[in-house]
Structure 1
Amino acid sequence: MSKDKSQETIPYSILELATVGKGVSVSDTFKNSLKLAQAAEDLGYKRFWLAEHHNMVSIASSATSVLMSHIAGGTKSIRVGSGGIMLPNHSSLIIAEQFSTLAHLYPDRIDLGLGRAPGTDQTTAQAIRPDRMQAVYQFPQELEQIQKYFSKENVNAKVRVPIAEGINLPTYILGSSTDSAHLAAKLGLPYVFASHFAPTHLFEAFEIYRREFKPSKFLKEPKTIACINAIVADSNEEAERISTSMIRMLIGVLTGRLDYMQPPTAMTPDLKAVVENPALQRMMAYAFAGDKAMVSEKTKQFLEDTQADELMVVSHIYDYEDRLKSVTLFAELMKDLNAVPA
């Protein structure tokens, strides 16, 4: 696989939403998330990140830092992080306290990914924090405040998070537009793009980030992570069947009719017709469903096109065993791609 920048292998990671399937309890969903993280650790995945969402019956990762502790406590080496914490929903001081606590509990394993989107609808966002829009505009300042809490130099400040001072806790900027690219570049922080559901500005954002990047004490050169959806099965037909759960979930997002993740069905002509909807096509631009050979080829092309330094994978799959199989096959194809000389 050609790599323009270096001979380094491409790390691969998982973004988890603790997706709740129809007829599956939240408790079992959390148990399955932990089992998946344990399997991912054994399969060579670098990170297991959890995303903050609210007021969605199909997503149970709303208390992100709490669930991170559950995952980190049940694993040994895989990095556990937020993908991300939606900072305008929170106090910077509280996030600094929560994540420095996690970093002490699980040394050198915690990542803090920060975004500015609400992770929910506007009515719920208002319920979370009535002054949220003001906090959105203050996102750069709030982010820098967290970094101050993490610094040893904050020891003489009037407001401190003593357990955070000098902590080893990498911070990542998440985005789905070009605004976040400018900010990540300015602050010299790694940049993660949500191309798994909002791919429109992916290439423009990466170009801006790399062009404007300023080295910092955190990072000497640009670092990018790109996200894809991947469903890998033993055959293309089986992957297509499994993917119907994801397709119905995305339709629910687009129509505002959110529901639990549905069990997979055959790909009907009606569902195929819906998939051709332009809005759904845009959202699924980087949704790869197929056997290992097909997904490998699409993943290889994606990495060559984006020159991403790391790949993060989302898999909306109803059945845990199907998801475990997909995660296993994806790890195999990444190891194969990384083994090919540039």
Structure 2
Amino acid sequence: MSKRKRSTPYSILELASVAAQSTVQKTFENSLDLAQKAEKMGYNRFWLAEHHNMISIASSATSVLIGYIAGGTEKIRVGSGGIMLPNHSPLIVAEQFGTLGSLYPGRIDLGLGRAPGTDQVTAHAIRSDRMQAVHKFPEEVSEIQQYFSAANSRAKVRATVAEGVEVPVYILGSSTDSAHVAAEKGLPYAFASHFAPAQLFEALNIYYNKFTPSKYLDKPYTIGCINVIAANTSEKAEDISTTLVRLMLGVMTGDIDYMQPPTKMTAELKEVAANPAFQRMLKYAFIGSKAEVKQKTEAFLEETGVNEVMVASHIYDPRDRINSYQIFSEVMQELNKDS
């Protein structure tokens, strides 16, 4: 029986992973299909990431993809997980998300991070002065909030399509830095524990202890991200997970390729999965049957105390991926019923 006293919303972080032998167009179609099914499964949000110069990830024009997903769904919240703010002008971000917020009222989220979402050479090609913007991240978050304010109608520089539009801002982080920003500004905080779990608890403690209530939020709100690969049997889940193992091996060695079809879990792949660096990076990768994923998810929720859980998955076959998200939805519904 769960010790939690509240129901926990569950959401999806979509990277639009491009599979071998597929196309970018098909990847986007699969993302929309997943969002439509996730909406019926009870998922709360569908967030799109921002990555650049990576053949395996198609979520680079994040705001465009958000419009595509929101336009093809009815009620699920759609947002950015996130917009890497140092890559962009705050004014342009406000205009883009003000437009989205007007087109899809009450359904758009603006998650903001400060990582480049790519390698340093590409980051420089995106914005040559981005390092200055990194240091100005808190100020640029405030700029965006000002552009969304109805009071900005008297300013010399305006994002007229954003003024008065309701688009909540979330601060994203994979270390402790952004925890300070989220706490000081009184904004909700999402932590990337699905790939960078090392500082999760330290970051959460900073956020909770330093949180200052604001007009946006009266008490802390946290989202924890995990990887989930669920299947009808443990053996099937293990086989499906070989796609993730091979993908992370490519990340660790700098040899990034398209998402590869699963294979049997060989001795070599088991050795990779047991590597300490791999284990550290994927501490919160819950792979297995429904019962196994449920046990691991419940432990994660109780250990962290996060208000919401967000799931990422790298699964080659769209049918296996949808089945995994269906199983996780059932897991969360059962856990929420117990709570």
In the alignment, the residues of structure 1 paired with residue 3 and residue 12 of structure 2 have an alpha-carbon distance, to the nearest angstrom, of: 22
Partner of 1:135: 133
Structure 2: state its 5+ residue gaps: none
Partner of 1:114: 112
In the alignment, the residues of structure 2 paired with residue 195 and residue 78 of structure 1 have an alpha-carbon distance, to the nearest angstrom, of: 23
Post-superposition offset of 1:277: 1.2
Residues 143-167 of structure 1 show CA distances to partners (whole Å, capped at 9, x for unaligned) of 1000000111111111011121111
Partner of 2:50: 52
Partner of 1:68: 66
Partner of 2:318: 320
In the alignment, the residues of structure 1 paired with residue 70 and residue 18 of structure 2 have an alpha-carbon distance, to the nearest angstrom, of: 20
Q: Pairwise mapping of residues 247-326 of structure 1 onto structure 2 (< 5 A)?
A: 247-326=245-324
Question: Does residue 156 of structure 1 match 2:130?
Answer: no
3-state SS of paired residue (1:163): coil
Equivalent residues of 2:2, 2:335 under 8 A apart: no
In the alignment, the residues of structure 2 paired with residue 332 and residue 114 of structure 1 have an alpha-carbon distance, to the nearest angstrom, of: 30
Q: How many pairs are equivalent? A: 339
Which of 217, 220, 243 is residue 219 of structure 1 equivalent to? 217
3-state SS of paired residue (1:189): coil
Partner of 2:180: 182
Partner of 1:242: 240
3-state SS of paired residue (1:144): helix
In the alignment, the residues of structure 1 paired with residue 21 and residue 93 of structure 2 have an alpha-carbon distance, to the nearest angstrom, of: 33
Partner of 2:164: 166
Identity %: 64
Post-superposition offset of 1:2: 3.6
* Worse-superposed segment, 248-257 or 222-231: 248-257
Partner of 1:81: 79
In the alignment, the residues of structure 2 paired with residue 286 and residue 278 of structure 1 have an alpha-carbon distance, to the nearest angstrom, of: 14
In the alignment, the residues of structure 1 paired with residue 312 and residue 304 of structure 2 have an alpha-carbon distance, to the nearest angstrom, of: 17
Post-superposition offset of 1:8: 2.4
Equivalent residues of 1:224, 1:308 under 8 A apart: yes
Equivalent residues of 1:3, 1:307 under 8 A apart: no
3-state SS of paired residue (1:167): coil
In the alignment, the residues of structure 1 paired with residue 257 and residue 144 of structure 2 have an alpha-carbon distance, to the nearest angstrom, of: 35
Equivalent residues of 2:245, 2:272 under 8 A apart: no
Post-superposition offset of 1:3: 4.5
RMSD: 0.7
Partner of 1:32: 30
Structure 1: state its 5+ residue gaps: none
Post-superposition offset of 1:318: 0.3
3-state SS of paired residue (1:217): coil
Post-superposition offset of 1:276: 1.5
3-state SS of paired residue (2:54): coil
In the alignment, the residues of structure 1 paired with residue 2 and residue 214 of structure 2 have an alpha-carbon distance, to the nearest angstrom, of: 28
In the alignment, the residues of structure 2 paired with residue 72 and residue 306 of structure 1 have an alpha-carbon distance, to the nearest angstrom, of: 30
Equivalent residues of 2:39, 2:75 under 8 A apart: yes
Partner of 2:143: 145
CA gap of 1:294–1:271, structure 2 versus 1, over 3 A, is same
AA in 1 matched with 2:290: K
Post-superposition offset of 1:248: 0.7
Which of 16, 20, 23 is residue 21 of structure 2 equivalent to? 23
Which of 77, 88, 95 is residue 97 of structure 1 equivalent to? 95
Residues 214-238 of structure 1 show CA distances to partners (whole Å, capped at 9, x for unaligned) of 0000000000000000000000000
When the two structures are superposed, what TM-score results if normalisation uses the length of structure 2?
A: 0.99
Post-superposition offset of 1:263: 0.2
Post-superposition offset of 1:282: 0.4
Structure 1 runs, 4 residues or longer, greater than 2 Å off = 1-4
Post-superposition offset of 1:184: 0.2
Equivalent residues of 1:114, 1:172 under 8 A apart: yes
Which of 196, 205, 230 is residue 232 of structure 1 equivalent to? 230
Equivalent residues of 1:234, 1:291 under 8 A apart: yes
Residues 75-96 of structure 1 show CA distances to partners (whole Å, capped at 9, x for unaligned) of 0000000000000000000000
AA in 2 matched with 1:246: L
When the two structures are superposed, what TM-score results if normalisation uses the length of structure 1?
A: 0.98
